[in-house]
Structure 1
């Protein structure tokens, strides 16, 4: 972080502490009739309160905040504020009990925290824009070097720089590139004139697009920037298979792109999802055990035969498993290598089966698959082996959905892409929604999908 980024961050932090103390003082002014700045006895009581609030918030900033919260307007403010609110209340309450501060007994100390958190939530994204207009010297002047960036890439780059406290001051590349002029991007010269440009302009950081430059030239540019004390950031070539979510890292001395990144790649989120799956599935099985018994009796009386049907399905990493379902047909397809799909008004569907399929109660036994770890409550629906082969031929990214466990319901299903997959649109939309879920998973997204599965009007399955 350069000095201008640091000063910008200090301004944003100062705003938070001013807002916090203003809310606290205003609240106490209206809450306490004895409020007074000139009464030593009152001040003696109020100072510990202010210190506790400020130290608690400082702790949250240092250990529970990421840089993106302050610099990127598209950052998930709501999630960050709610997490901070939870810790803020907990820390303040702990300190009150620990230091036995009786003064808090006269005031609902949680209420100011909620007011502050709400105001912080609605004001932060506008504060950065305001500071950029009123105090542009807080933003870092940057120079872009390279001749291989397309117009669309330049638009994304300039917007991204602005979000993180940078102002793109100029460009070094080919003199005949007109796309930069369309963006009002000043061409300061060619690549070989870096020394001259840095000597004649106030530049804080240099961004070098390296994909079309030789290693020797990149090293030379870095040495020139170092000689002027200017920080350097390298923009590598995009990976050949670009995904909407990817991270760059290092292994040994090599830079490595990690494609198709998902929050579920993290150990803690994987454990969280598995714990939720196990507890939720166990609760459903216990609560619905009378329903399981009742459905089994009705299936047996309606059509003599097995209660359940266990077709083989493809799961995580392409593994095959037995998927438990209540039997809904008088004649079931081969569970191992069956290929016959259900059709509208299928004569094989029994009277009880028609109700079970319409209400999705035929999927209830799959909670046992969840307990076994073969499925998740939420995830892409498991497919038959022959259907998987069909999808692989028609949808390029299909197998990416096998990165995670299949689910009883999923993002595609609650958005209406369930049931038959005959047309290319049905196939592509289902996979697109499955991949979006994988790359954007969160615990609250799972809760949302469960809610929409139960109460939503998304059903297209008519048989």
Structure 2
């Protein structure tokens, strides 16, 4: 799931949250004639029931429902909705029995769930239409390549894409025939122009119809997309390109293979990682606040200048953000355009700066970036803009790192691939470790990396 789809999903979940609580309040108001906003005891009982409902709903979202059915109303969505409704009833019932809650009639616990599920079903399609009209910028800009399938299949696919949160902004064709004209699609040129199209247009994902494409042409298109950090999905005739991590789904009448899948494409796991990041960063900042004050004082006493150095770095989906660090040099470059890296025995490093760098204490303010949602505790390290431009030219799949948020520490760093990126081995191994982390993420892997960051020696290892 890319970041734009995630925003659509958040809007849908916000709607469900409001609908659920509204249904509960209206039902209690209509079934309890003694309802009064001035009756504090009654309001406490309503609040307790609302907490049970929302906790149960959150459990259903995280552990029962998947991420695909949110974007379209079909048999998969209906099946998921029915399953979720009965799990919802069961979870609420268990909580009521365990907590021994008996201040409402049994119908007050169960009936609102079915009303909510029904209203959610009939309003889902119209909410998506509303988002499509009023928030089209949240839909993923998509490029179609090739036309090996029948016209009717492609047309069904195109019509279904909007329901999944996609905007078709262009079409590239390899052959002379161009079915895009008969389907009302924008024609952007030949597939040979893919690199130029990606460079001049904001494209979030590419769908490649593999039927009439040679294997090498498909691989070349994937390499070009990887070099821009653009996600790729295949429309296969035969599933023969399965060497990479992938996931198969169905859109309309066609099968799609999503390449370079990450566990973090699952919405519940993304929420889990974000909750952990926020709580962990908050605890660290509170516990280490005396250390922050001490380090800030030492920096001010040691040399003139600001306490923090805020260079610009590249984050998720190529977004630029200010990365917070303790200042360790007497002279700081322009944070946006600076290109000069530190060298051995760099004369710009202050006395306090040497200590901070040796113990990696200069990186601690990045927990503020984690709180803001710009970084994660664990992830690929954020690079300077100039370094990113250099690495994306020398390491083809470098931009795939931008699928996730950068981290304060990462799998490459704890395995010894940190510091300089001067040799080809240093570049490729760092990226290889970053991509392995993205494709094999788990909550316990993050915990392991945190432990290795704090207690490990970070010697260079083989992958």
TM-score, normalised relative to structure 2: 0.49
Which structure is higher in RCO with an 8 Å CA cutoff and minimum separation 6? 2
Larger radius of gyration: 1
